[in-house]
Amino acid sequence: MGEAGWGLFSYIYRMESTDVCILGAGPGGSTAALHLAKAGVRCVLLDKAVFPRDKICGDALSGKVMSELRRIDEDLPALLPHRTDALPSRGIHFIAPNEQWLSVPFQESSSVLGKNGAKRPVVALDEDSANEPLPAPGYLMRRVDFDNLLVETVRRTPLIDFREGDAVTEHTPVSDGWRIGTASGKTLHAKLLIVANGAQSAFTRHVAGIDPEPKHFCAGLRAYYEGVQGLDANGYVELHFLEPFLPGYFWIFPLPNGAANVGVGMRSDAVSRQRINLKTAMLDLIGTHPTLRERFANARLVGDIRGYGLPLGSRRRRLSGDGYLLVGDAAHLIDPFTGEGISNAMISGRWAAHQAVQSLQANDFSASFLASYDRAVYRRLGNELRISTRLQRLLAYRWLFNLVVRRANRNPALKQLLSAMFDDIDLRASLRNPMFYVKLLFA
């Protein structure tokens, strides 16, 4: 056999095949892989990082995240009360530009529901189990720990071929799927790609044709502090809508052992227009704001202040195409008002797995067939993203946002609306009911 023949033979020998390949093992990709395994479908899950690995984030797990964990495995949420790296969180504080506070509790039952929405019974088998703590409606947990919790679940799942520490170097469309090359020199053929490799996904930009747009993109900074005063005893997170970060906010999220995740997020077009240095502005706010200055007087910065980008869901995108589905940040699904992205990544990962099963059964991976994934994701998230986009736009009118916060403090319907964005509550039923709008406007 000649040199060319041996080269072809070697290439074919090294080529592996899988029905589904998932790019990225963050919450969206891991969730997709775990739901595929529940449906009996094998997949290959690739990530360039070796876990545990850090991910710049606010580190908040909403009620929607808890619900998605339960959908993966009903026992997963029950692990969190026993972990020293997870802090229960029971709500969120919104601080308006005029510094009026609006406190919105999470739904207490959202994380302890069983199948079909029924409350899971607590059966006391002995004295220890009678005192077994129920999961809180939300948690605060560093992403290095939360993502690794999901990855450890992946590692225990035989149907998932998890390959970490191997970056994707090629994704080339072929007649019957995709050819995937990796830095290790391996080549993989897949019928379907689930793309969950984050905000800077080369696939999203160069194949799906979605470029970051400053109006629909957020620049963010994250820092860890110790010794911040006045952290909420019930783990409420704080979103401060203050100058100079509008339209955006400064946040303080309590963490275990008295630590806090502190940061800012601001729409990229406003950053450019105002020529603001986010790091300088954040440190100035901490050092000069009358209330914050006292709270940070004895606080200590731990590590570096790190920056990242958030692709917002304030514009509807095409989430699929011939042979691929976009998930999570790669699909630009981050909440435009709160910046929450973990739950939306997990929700889209679950629906991507559902669509993959349907496509394998029909042996149809065309763009037209996969478009039902787009419809499913936006049926679930569309109302929330639209409402959140409108709330974000309110920040351009400080007096109007102040009015909304003042009205919400006296209006249970508006509080319910805000709470629903963080819990696994379907807004469609409320939004179809005319009386909801009456309560919203006049209650």
Cβ-count burial 250-260 (b if 16+ within 10 Å, e if not) = bbbbbbbeebb
425: pLDDT confidence band, cut at 50, 70 and 90? low
CA distances from 170 to 5, 188, 203, 334 (A): 23, 10, 10, 27
CATH number, domain of 21, equals 3.50.50.60
pLDDT digits 0-9 by tens, 163-218: 999 999 999 999 999 999 999 999 999 999 999 999 889 999 999 999 889 999 99
Higher pLDDT, residue 428 or 404: 404
Residue 52 lies in a domain: yes
Q: Lowest mean pLDDT of 27-31, 119-123, 330-334, 415-419, name the range.
A: 119-123
pLDDT digits 0-9 by tens, 368-407: 999 999 999 999 999 889 988 988 888 888 888 888 888 8
Q: Determine contact, residues 89/235, Cβ cutoff 8 Å.
A: yes
The tokens describing 15, both together, are 């080529």
For range 317-324, the mean pLDDT: 97
Judge whether residue 424 has pLDDT over 70: no
111: pLDDT confidence band, cut at 50, 70 and 90? very low
Q: Lowest mean pLDDT of 87-96, 122-131, 394-403, name the range.
A: 122-131
314: pLDDT confidence band, cut at 50, 70 and 90? very high
Task: Tell me whether residue 89 is exposed, middle or buried, using C-beta atoms within 10 angstroms of its C-beta: 0 to 12, 13 to 18, 19 or more.
Answer: buried
CA proximity to 58, closest of 267, 374, 306:
306
Higher pLDDT, residue 79 or 130: 79
Residue 442 lies in a domain: no
Which domain, by its residues, includes 200?
3-88+137-212+315-388
d(CA 251, CA 335): 15
The pLDDT of residue 430:
61
CA proximity to 160, closest of 168, 150, 170:
150
Contacts (Cβ under 8 Å, ≥6 apart) of 117: none
Residue type, 258: G
Judge whether residue 239 has pLDDT over 60: yes
Could you give the number of structural domains in the chain? 1
Judge whether residue 122 has pLDDT over 50: no
pLDDT digits 0-9 by tens, 9-29: 444 445 699 999 999 999 999
Residue 253 lies in a domain: no
Task: Tell me whether residue 273 is exposed, middle or buried, using C-beta atoms within 10 angstroms of its C-beta: 0 to 12, 13 to 18, 19 or more.
Answer: exposed
pLDDT digits 0-9 by tens, 144-177: 999 999 999 999 999 999 999 999 999 999 999 9
Q: Name the β-bridge partners of 250.
A: 240, 264
The tokens describing 128, both together, are 């220890």
How does the average pLDDT of the chain come out, rounded?
87
The pLDDT of residue 406:
86
Judge whether residue 128 has pLDDT over 50: no
d(CA 88, CA 105): 12
Residue 160 lies in a domain: yes
pLDDT digits 0-9 by tens, 31-76: 999 999 999 999 999 999 999 999 999 999 998 999 999 999 999 9
d(CA 58, CA 324): 29
Residue 197 lies in a domain: yes
The pLDDT of residue 200:
87
pTM reported for the whole predicted model: 0.89
Residue 112 lies in a domain: no
Residue 242 lies in a domain: no
Residue 432 lies in a domain: no
